[in-house]
Chain A
Amino acid sequence: MTQSASDRADAAELASFRAEVAAFVDETMAGRARPAMTGLLGAEREAMAWWQAALHAKGWGAPNWPTEYGGAGWSAAQLGVLMEESARVEAPMISPFGVVMVGPVIYSFGSAAQKARHLPGILSGEIFWCQGYSEPGAGSDLASLKTRAIRDGDDYVVNGQKIWTTHAHFADWMFCLVRTDPEAKPQKGISFLLIDMKSPGVEVRAIDSIDGMHHLNEVFFTDVRVPAENLVGVENEGWTYAKFLLVNERAGIANVAGTRRDLAKAKAYAASGEAFVAPPLGDPTIAAAFDALEDRLEALDALEERALAAPTQSPEAMRLTAPLKLLGSELAQDVSELAVRVAGPAALRRPVAAGEVSPYGVYGQTAMSSFLFGRSHSIYGGTSEVQKNIMAKLLMGGL
């Protein structure tokens, strides 16, 4: 393949851009303790808020938002560079619920008052969001959700229950799908409501996860009064905004940068003469397993590049989003499984508490936590089975 002059100019520009981003993340993260775990595992509000504030101060709080809302007008490739460089230095994660999810819904469909009230806090990292979608009876079958919002004067009165609500235990706000018309077809009677988590009648209960940590919650609503001005867009059109959000999410959905970092760390660990007398990478079956995962990562990266190049909300973007989620989840899971296999007995101890030490170090314990938590990658945000249903629909029925 020959490169045109403009391709070469773009590549040179991107390389100098990467240098600028790298310098910034290196300098910002200098001296800061790396989290023991990555991804949602190490998601503590304080760390996420600090990192978001640092990015915001640089003008990169939400770089792919339109500039009028505080974005930097970056291309997808530029955003990819920031993700890769942040992953490289193991920066805290960006809360996906604000910048990635609800922010674009608000600036696309929200009122002027909603934009003025909510976008600045998302950008600065001061306000945290959670997502109120799933319910005990409405997971993969999300459209059957039952949480009810009834208009009463200037308020909606909300009753019902959400589940699997990540970060609800420290979020300030929830963007929530509620049923406003029980008579309409399931998808038609749903509205998109912004709920202050401090409202009377909101109760958050923790769910213990299989990795021994607390990420998930149940959220109960008992006669919660939500001002009608917190309705986004048009009543009963919430499903449309939720779908918009799903397609919009594709930029980070495959988590290529994070998985690339985790795979590289696992391989470095497997090659480590410090951790192992006989580094496991010397075992041809383990070396082959790394090769296979690297091949899959490259293919996923290429797929993502094409998906991001497709115009937002285009049929092409929709067709490529579900595979990104499906393959990204599976790859991350297989990387953590291989990391556990490499660690072997070192993965079997419960994570050390503060002040404890293990002669094995902590990598193996972290790998097992990632493996256990990572089972959720193919469950949250639409299970792998739901992604395949979406793809089957497109494949069999056209768009």
Chain B
Amino acid sequence: MAMFEPNEDQALLKDSVAKFIERSYDEGARKTMGAAPFDEARWAAMAELGWLMLSFQEDDGGMQSGGATGAGDIVSLYEALGPGLVIEPLMASSILAGGLIAGASGPARSAELLGEIASGAVRAAAALHEPRARNDLYYCETMARREGSGWRLDGVKSLALGGSAAQRLVLLARIEGAPGDPAGLGLFLASADAPGITLTPYRTRDDGFAGDVALSGAVLPAKALLAGPGEAASVLALAVDQTRLAMAAELVGLAERLARETAAYSMTRKQFGAPIGAFQVLQHRMVDMAVGVETTRSLVYRAAGLADAGWSDEARAMTRRAYAHAAALALKTAKEAVQIHGGMGMTEDVPVGRLLRRVQTLGLLFPET
């Protein structure tokens, strides 16, 4: 199985992402984004660059053909996005919600909708978590009952990523079985403003646009079903693994910037008559950061190489390993970065705090249970 390394096209992609970030995501602008509403123009500009298309097949309005997964493209994209602390729900809409729709075979699966997600015309968000279930997505108390020819959904989904900026929701609800039983799950597609659906918007710690989704007698037509019992759990598990790979890549990008910022800061900050970066005890710690970034990148590339050839069990197991490793390494790197920045690291005047919050967000979303 070939180890992944970005090819010429992917190197160009990374380069264009870096240029976009430099233009639209400079440090001054990034500081104020946490208080600003969703920026449609910036979203459109990112969509225009094709970033939302990478995971979709050509038939669905995407860029992949011949059964290719696009894993290498996606890893290249998100590794380059990581340092930029991008707040738009690119991954939430295209990889997670888009992956759930694309992977399903029910009547709600629509190439037209996938094309709209891939072009950025429509944003989708997946509502999977529940308040008391922590990271166990199979523990689903939200119920979908047959009503007439359609469905009636009741329950509370928490933390729909990108939810407050989405027009469509992918809802995980139980059709049969006890909470915790994966076989009885169902996936549904709904408009975010459908009757009986109340989305409470909020911002996450990394400035993302999320929401809780209360379903109170939400009536959906029969054609809202994406995947029913027997299918939904495996569709869900695959989309989450695909999201984990993108997250692992983004975590590498985050850790890399943390290491870079820290090394640069240490050469400007003087104490005891020398840059603190001249002290061996700090040099060794910064070397540890850099080594951690490179080994983690290697592991993520190994997973990308496997997934590029197809989402085999081996590719998915390696992806989960890479995600867990990247989350732990990036958290350790972020803590060190704050410490070496000293008091400055506690402030919003340098990016390390924001990087730390993004690292925590990515790491806490989909750990294995």
Residue of B nearest to A209 (CB): B346
Q: Quick check: is A296 within 8 A (CB to CB) of the other chain?
A: no
Residue of B nearest to A351 (CB): B205
Q: How far is the CA of A389 from the CA of B343 in the complex (A)?
A: 18
Q: Mark B323-359, 1 if CB is under 8 A from A, else 0.
A: 0000000000001001100110111110011101100
Q: Mark A358-399, 1 if CB is under 8 A from B, else 0.
A: 111000000010011001101110011100000000000000
Q: Mark B197-215, 1 if CB is under 8 A from A, else 0.
A: 0000011111000101000
Interface pair A275/B132, CB less than 8 Å apart: yes
Interface pair A350/B364, CB less than 8 Å apart: no
Q: How far is the CA of A375 from the CA of B337 in the complex (A)?
A: 10
Q: Mark A327-363, 1 if CB is under 8 A from B, else 0.
A: 0000001000000110111111110100010111000
Interface pair A380/B357, CB less than 8 Å apart: no
Determine the chain A residues whose CB is within 8 A of the CB of B361 once the complex forms: 348
Interface of B is mostly: mixed
Interface pair A210/B347, CB less than 8 Å apart: yes
Q: Mark B23-42, 1 if CB is under 8 A from A, else 0.
A: 00000000000000000000
Interface pair A344/B342, CB less than 8 Å apart: no
Q: Quick check: is B129 within 8 A (CB to CB) of the other chain?
A: yes
From known contacts A209-B347, A278-B136, infer whether A384 and B270 are also in contact, taking CB-CB under 8 Å: no
Interface pair B134/A344, CB less than 8 Å apart: yes
Q: How far is the CA of A376 from the CA of B348 in the complex (A)?
A: 13
Determine the chain A residues whose CB is within 8 A of the CB of B342 once the complex forms: 139-140, 379, 383
Determine the chain B residues whose CB is within 8 A of the CB of A140 once the complex forms: 271-272, 342
Interface pair A360/B131, CB less than 8 Å apart: yes
Q: Quick check: is B2 within 8 A (CB to CB) of the other chain?
A: no
Q: How far is the CA of A161 from the CA of B139 in the complex (A)?
A: 55
Determine the chain B residues whose CB is within 8 A of the CB of A139 once the complex forms: 271, 342-343
Q: Quick check: is A200 within 8 A (CB to CB) of the other chain?
A: no
Q: How far is the CA of A347 from the CA of B356 in the complex (A)?
A: 13
Residue of A nearest to B354 (CB): A210
Interface pair A375/B360, CB less than 8 Å apart: no
Q: Quick check: is A134 within 8 A (CB to CB) of the other chain?
A: yes
Q: How far is the CA of A179 from the CA of B325 in the complex (A)?
A: 49
Residue of A nearest to B213 (CB): A359
How many chain A residues have a CB neighbour from B under 8 Å?
45
Q: Quick check: is A150 within 8 A (CB to CB) of the other chain?
A: no
Closest CB-CB distance, B152 to chain A, in whole Å? 20
Determine the chain A residues whose CB is within 8 A of the CB of B206 once the complex forms: 348
CB contact list, B94-124 vs A, under 8 A? none
Interface pair A280/B134, CB less than 8 Å apart: yes
Partner of A379, one of B212, B272, B282, B345: B345
Partner of A345, one of B139, B353, B365: B365
Closest CB-CB distance, B363 to chain A, in whole Å? 9
Q: Quick check: is A26 within 8 A (CB to CB) of the other chain?
A: no
Q: Quick check: is A216 within 8 A (CB to CB) of the other chain?
A: yes
Q: How far is the CA of A383 from the CA of B281 in the complex (A)?
A: 14
Determine the chain A residues whose CB is within 8 A of the CB of B74 once the complex forms: none
Interface pair B159/A348, CB less than 8 Å apart: yes
CB contact list, A247-301 vs B, under 8 A? 275-278, 280
CB contact list, B56-114 vs A, under 8 A? none
Q: Quick check: is B158 within 8 A (CB to CB) of the other chain?
A: yes
Partner of B159, one of A144, A276, A349, A368: A349
Can you list 25 A-B contacts with CB-CB less than 8 angstroms, sorted by A residue number?
Answer: A137-B270, A141-B271, A209-B348, A210-B345, A277-B133, A278-B133, A278-B139, A340-B360, A343-B364, A344-B135, A345-B129, A346-B131, A346-B134, A348-B205, A349-B210, A350-B203, A350-B204, A358-B158, A358-B202, A368-B205, A371-B360, A372-B353, A372-B356, A383-B339, A385-B282
Q: List 6 other contacts, CB 8 Å, given A277-B179, A278-B136.
A: A210-B338, A344-B134, A345-B134, A348-B204, A348-B205, A368-B360
